[in-house]
Chain A
Amino acid sequence: MTILQTTLSSPQLRTRMSRRTLLKGSAGVALGAMVLPSARGAAIGQSAPGVSTGPQPKGKVIDCHAHLTHHSRATWEADDRKLIEAADKLGIDQLCCSTLTPRWPATADGFRECNRWTADGMRRFPDRVLGYCYVNPGYSREALDEVRRYVGDRGFIGIKLYNEYTCTEPVVFPIVELAIELGVPILHHASHCHYFVEDQPRMSDGGHLAELARRYPEAMLICAHISGGGDWEWTIKALRHAPNVLLDTSGSATDEGTVEMAAAVVGVDRLVFGCDSSMTAGMGKIRGAELSAQDKEKILGGNMMRLLRRRKA
């Protein structure tokens, strides 16, 4: 409580919220301290939905799905800085970032440029930004070279695939095989809408990722943004029997019950926290989920750390 009151009255501290503050669902406490003449008394103390009455989550918080800004945008440098500042405010320790081309499909030159900028971001924000190597699998040789260069040699933590190809198309397989060889995850853009998404005709969904996972049970796949990828209930159910696919909780939708259903259907060990630039939505969903502190620790960083430790030398 002391921390909260101080935070709201101190400009310096207001810009760097305590992670514990945010994770223990204390907005009401904070704002109550600020404007409530009297708190809601006994009702507040009751055990109720959403209340974390036990220990609060600890450990490193890793956003598994973040983006740095393409340098064609004049404000890219300030935008990247804002991302780190937002992470500071929300108690996010590290962000797994890719830089995407503004137009798709990405050319080989386009994704190479993006990966150079991601590497630059890792230098600008050491230990905060972790890099995904973004490639278009359609440029087979160039894509494999790029993954070897940035993941193999320059410390990127995984591969980012977007919508250039559906993940079950054979052109994607060499990338998956290389990811297995290197021991790194693939974060794959995905969405399941009950209509044809015209501007993303080769979109992958949870069903495609489950099929890819069956083909490559050693692969570590992450299904991107279940909360920004259409019908999340469909996606969660489609991935139930795909144990090597993790579900990224990011996305702008904040539908109540999403995280709990995902935890119930696939298990908390397969959930990884992400924002995909929807920062307060990302953190708020985890904070609001009716899960134990231990489960939230896994989602917020523990599961991603476990994944990253599987990297091969």
Chain B
Amino acid sequence: MIIDVNAYLGHFAFRRLRHNTAPSLLALMDSKRIDKAVVSSASAITYRNAQAGNEEVAEEVRGHSDRLIPFTVINPFYAGWQDDLKICHEEFGMVGLRLYPKWHNYQLASPCCRELVNAATERGMVISIPIRVEDNRQRSWLLNVPDVPLEEIVDLVKAHPKARFILLNGIGYTGCPLGRKDNGLPSNYAIELSRLSAVLANEIGRLITNLGAERVMFGTGMPFNYPDPALVKLEVLDASEADKGKICSQNAMTWLRL
């Protein structure tokens, strides 16, 4: 089984996405033999009211809950986020959330964000943080949204040892405490592999060595990205079948309680 913890539905403000409806994403997943995917709203990245994007995703995934696992996008500085979180969790069945601190212009260390992380954790929700949405070099002339610095993630995971984080679309973890062995950090975060190398520097292999295969998860970033590069990484990764099994699906199943 393959579970993709890094997928999206809806539109992105700066580029046309294909395969961004539930039927078309499922068709793409079928063609790549990806069984399940965690999806959130791509539109909510730039909507002022992210909840409108969450509602769109809730509608899209209806009838596909066996394959598409919806996450909510919450901006903790936007009015009514507590209500949105409650609705998304209790009514829409969203078992996790995605945070966009740079796109939504807040600090991970801010009290509002800390309050959101605590509230989500109390609900048993997984919190995923895309380190980036797209390559910054191709950004629109309208904006300049930096990647989330990994140092800010270090502080976050330390401050919330009971929370569970999945870090998406990141790279360079082995160059900071997050990817180092015996780093003194709680083991409350997992790292998704879509941008990590499986050859040459082989960051995936180094993370398996340093943190254990239990802390690495498969993800593609589809439909922003082709799913194939992530699948190729799995194919060429020099790891045991047991470790690949954990990365492909077992870790996600444990974290998402599937």
In angstroms, Cα B238 to Cα A268, docked, is: 33
Given contacts A35-B244, A195-B141, A280-B199, contact A28 B231 (CB under 8 A): yes
Residue in A14, A43, A89, A255 whose CB lies within 8 Å of B225 = A255
Taken residue by residue from 77 to 88, chain A's Cβ proximity to chain B (1 for < 8 Å, 0 otherwise) reads as 001001101100
Given contacts A284-B230, A284-B232, contact A50 B31 (CB under 8 A): yes
Complex interface residues of chain B between 148 and 163 (CB less than 8 A to chain A): none
Across the interface, do B138 and A253 meet the contact criterion of CB distance under 8 Å?
yes
Min distance, Cβ A245 to any Cβ of chain B, angstroms: 20
Residue in B17, B200, B226 whose CB lies within 8 Å of A254 = B226
What residues on A are CB-neighbors of B198 within 8 Å? 280
In angstroms, Cα B32 to Cα A281, docked, is: 16
Does B89 have its Cβ within 8 Å of any Cβ on chain A? no
Does A30 have its Cβ within 8 Å of any Cβ on chain B? yes
Given contacts A86-B200, A193-B138, contact A280 B233 (CB under 8 A): yes
Does B96 have its Cβ within 8 Å of any Cβ on chain A? no
Across the interface, do B244 and A28 meet the contact criterion of CB distance under 8 Å?
no
What residues on A are CB-neighbors of B17 within 8 Å? 256
Does B210 have its Cβ within 8 Å of any Cβ on chain A? no
By CB atoms of chain B within 10 A, which of A21, A35, A37 has the most?
A35
In angstroms, Cα B95 to Cα A108, docked, is: 60
Given contacts A36-B1, A48-B30, A83-B200, contact A230 B137 (CB under 8 A): yes
Does B115 have its Cβ within 8 Å of any Cβ on chain A? no
In angstroms, Cα B19 to Cα A280, docked, is: 22
By CB atoms of chain B within 10 A, which of A28, A39, A48 has the most?
A28
By CB atoms of chain A within 10 A, which of B1, B18, B198, B244 has the most?
B1
Across the interface, do B15 and A49 meet the contact criterion of CB distance under 8 Å?
no
Does A283 have its Cβ within 8 Å of any Cβ on chain B? yes
Across the interface, do A280 and B197 meet the contact criterion of CB distance under 8 Å?
yes
Across the interface, do B231 and A27 meet the contact criterion of CB distance under 8 Å?
yes
Complex interface residues of chain A between 215 and 261 (CB less than 8 A to chain B): 228-233, 252-257
Across the interface, do B19 and A256 meet the contact criterion of CB distance under 8 Å?
yes
What residues on A are CB-neighbors of B234 within 8 Å? 27, 30-31
What residues on B are CB-neighbors of A90 within 8 Å? 199, 232, 236
What residues on B are CB-neighbors of A254 within 8 Å? 194, 221, 225-226, 229
Across the interface, do A28 and B226 meet the contact criterion of CB distance under 8 Å?
no
What residues on B are CB-neighbors of A40 within 8 Å? 30, 33, 35
Complex interface residues of chain A between 167 and 193 (CB less than 8 A to chain B): 191, 193
Taken residue by residue from 259 to 303, chain A's Cβ proximity to chain B (1 for < 8 Å, 0 otherwise) reads as 000000000000000000101110111011100000000000000
Across the interface, do B18 and A27 meet the contact criterion of CB distance under 8 Å?
no
Does A194 have its Cβ within 8 Å of any Cβ on chain B? yes
What residues on B are CB-neighbors of A228 within 8 Å? 135, 137
What residues on B are CB-neighbors of A29 within 8 Å? 33
Does A17 have its Cβ within 8 Å of any Cβ on chain B? yes
What residues on B are CB-neighbors of A30 within 8 Å? 234-235
What residues on A are CB-neighbors of B231 within 8 Å? 25, 27-28, 31, 284
Taken residue by residue from 81 to 116, chain B's Cβ proximity to chain A (1 for < 8 Å, 0 otherwise) reads as 000000000000000000000000000000000000
Does A122 have its Cβ within 8 Å of any Cβ on chain B? no
Residue in B137, B197, B236, B245 whose CB lies within 8 Å of A191 = B137
Does A46 have its Cβ within 8 Å of any Cβ on chain B? yes
Across the interface, do A31 and B248 meet the contact criterion of CB distance under 8 Å?
yes
Given contacts A15-B238, A48-B30, contact A256 B222 (CB under 8 A): yes
Complex interface residues of chain A between 48 and 73 (CB less than 8 A to chain B): 48-51
Does B2 have its Cβ within 8 Å of any Cβ on chain A? yes
Across the interface, do A49 and B31 meet the contact criterion of CB distance under 8 Å?
yes
Given contacts A256-B225, A288-B229, contact A28 B197 (CB under 8 A): no
What residues on B are CB-neighbors of A280 within 8 Å? 197-199, 229, 232-233, 236
Taken residue by residue from 215 to 247, chain B's Cβ proximity to chain A (1 for < 8 Å, 0 otherwise) reads as 000000111111111111111101001001100
Across the interface, do B33 and A35 meet the contact criterion of CB distance under 8 Å?
no
Residue on A nearest B239 in the bound complex, by CB:
A14
In angstroms, Cα B233 to Cα A253, docked, is: 15
Min distance, Cβ B55 to any Cβ of chain A, angstroms: 25
In angstroms, Cα B250 to Cα A34, docked, is: 13
Does A305 have its Cβ within 8 Å of any Cβ on chain B? no
In angstroms, Cα B199 to Cα A232, docked, is: 25
Given contacts A8-B241, A34-B241, A39-B33, contact A232 B18 (CB under 8 A): no
Min distance, Cβ B214 to any Cβ of chain A, angstroms: 15
In angstroms, Cα B244 to Cα A28, docked, is: 12
Chain B positions within 8 Å of A, measured between CB atoms, are 1-2, 15-19, 24, 27-28, 30-35, 134-135, 137-141, 144, 194-195, 197-200, 221-236, 238, 241, 244-245, 248-249
What are 8 residue pairs bridging A and B, where the CB atoms are less than 8 Å apart in the complex? A27-B235, A28-B34, A31-B2, A31-B231, A40-B35, A51-B31, A194-B140, A255-B138
The 8 closest A-B pairs by CB, nearest first: A28-B33, A284-B229, A27-B231, A288-B228, A288-B226, A86-B199, A48-B31, A284-B228
Please give 10 more A-B residue pairs, beta carbons under 8 A apart, in addition to A193-B139, A195-B144, A283-B232.
A25-B231, A27-B33, A30-B235, A32-B1, A34-B244, A35-B244, A50-B31, A82-B199, A229-B137, A279-B199
